[in-house]
Amino acid sequence: MTDQIQRFLFERSNVRGEIVTLERAYVDVLDRHGYPPSVNRLLGELLAAAALLTDTVKLDGILSIEVRGQGPLSLLMAESNPGGELRAIARLNEDATLPDGGAGFRELVGEGHIVITLDPREGNRYQGIVALDHDTLAGCLEAYFSQSEQLPTQLWLEADGARAGGLLLQRLPDESQNQDDDAWERTVHLARTVKAEELLGLAPQDLLYRLYHEETVRVFEPKPLRFGCTCTRERIGEALLTLGAAELREVLAEQGEIETQCHFCHTCYRFGAAEIDALLGAEDGPPPTLH
């Protein structure tokens, strides 16, 4: 199983972690788009981050990470759902020229912020915002954790266009179980020795052994991950409404129907005049009754 997330914890300490490896799910996302290599790499990091965050906050719902910047890349978004499905999208400014192949995170996104939305199946939606003031995506997300969750968290993310991987370590607030005072410093220090090829090429168990063979690590059952899109006819219809009645009627008059694609999976949806009327009617309240 190459696409999975593996939770672990260090015995007798309050340090826990996650390792994610993505291959098929990542390629399935990239295959639906035709982004340049530097964008593909960043998208891989973001997919890995979305999987890590979902599992870390134990969310039963939809989590999305949106990177909104003023650089050549105006939007980068990844989303996960409770079924272990991931999807992602990037939007490039039309007139943007991308820096050469080795362009990093900050060159691509420029100034801006990251919006993290947790949308649980039950309960209230939560949104956290963090400024893009670190040189890496991992750095920005670490800032999010210290700001929003107030938990010391360290992240390592890598992607190469074919594989994506990530490692997360977190120190939990409960000190009562902690009989190992320097566990946090020691485990973070060891994680800093991780190489990109290890994060991308080793199975989670092998990576844990490579980093922590001198520690007592408890590992949990890995969870499978895959590409999946949550688009439905209903949601696509709702999104169409944001164009406004005038625009929708104009397209209908010209083309007889409205054809639109899901940005994430490119599934095509067609809406006829009657269906658009029903959507617009539902928005304005019940249609007037005829006598």
Give the Cβ contact number of residue 196 at 10 Å. 13
Nearest distance, CB of residue 118 and Zn ion, angstroms: 21
CB 270 within 8 A of CB 252: no
Angle between helices 233-241 and 273-284 (to 10 degrees): 70
CA distance linking residue 41 with residue 104, whole number of Å:
9
Nearer to Zn ion, 184 or 227 (CB): 227
Nearer to Zn ion, 117 or 178 (CB): 117
Nearest distance, CB of residue 227 and Zn ion, angstroms: 10
Out of 46, 114, 168, 262, the residue judged to bind Zn ion by CB under 5 A:
262
Radius of gyration for the chain, computed over Cα atoms and rounded to the nearest angstrom: 22
Q: Please tell me whether residue 236 binds Zn ion under the rule CB under 5 A.
A: no
Q: Please tell me whether residue 229 binds Zn ion under the rule CB under 5 A.
A: yes
Nearer to Zn ion, 239 or 280 (CB): 239
Nearest distance, CB of residue 229 and Zn ion, angstroms: 3
Nearer to Zn ion, 265 or 278 (CB): 265
Q: How many chain residues interact with Zn ion (CB under 5 A)?
A: 6
Nearer to Zn ion, 93 or 260 (CB): 260
Q: Please tell me whether residue 5 binds Zn ion under the rule CB under 5 A.
A: no
Q: Which stretch binds Zn ion (CB under 5 A): 125-133, 197-205, 254-262, 281-289?
A: 254-262
Write out the H or E segment, with its range, that includes residue 148: none
Nearest distance, CB of residue 225 and Zn ion, angstroms: 17
Write out the H or E segment, with its range, that includes residue 145: none
Provide the Cα torsion 280, 286, 290, 291; round to 10°: -170
Give the Cβ contact number of residue 109 at 10 Å. 24
Would you put residue 252 in left (φ > 0), alpha (ψ -120 to 50) or beta?
A: alpha
CA distance linking residue 57 with residue 73, whole number of Å:
28
Q: Please tell me whether residue 191 binds Zn ion under the rule CB under 5 A.
A: no
Q: Please tell me whether residue 265 binds Zn ion under the rule CB under 5 A.
A: yes
If 0-12 CB within 10 Å is exposed, 13-18 middle and 19+ buried, where does residue 268 land? exposed
Nearer to Zn ion, 55 or 79 (CB): 79
Name the 3-class secondary structure at 129. Answer: strand
Q: Please tell me whether residue 264 binds Zn ion under the rule CB under 5 A.
A: yes
Q: Which stretch binds Zn ion (CB under 5 A): 8-16, 204-212, 222-230, 253-261?
A: 222-230
Q: Which stretch binds Zn ion (CB under 5 A): 36-44, 106-114, 241-249, 257-265?
A: 257-265
Nearest distance, CB of residue 77 and Zn ion, angstroms: 13
Nearest distance, CB of residue 268 and Zn ion, angstroms: 10
Helix, strand and coil content of the chain, in percent to the nearest 5, comes to: 35, 30, 35
Q: Please tell me whether residue 258 binds Zn ion under the rule CB under 5 A.
A: no
CB 28 within 8 A of CB 162: no
Out of 231, 241, 273, 280, the residue judged to bind Zn ion by CB under 5 A:
231
Nearest distance, CB of residue 269 and Zn ion, angstroms: 9
Residue numbers of the site for Zn ion (CB under 5 A)? 229, 231, 262, 264-265, 267
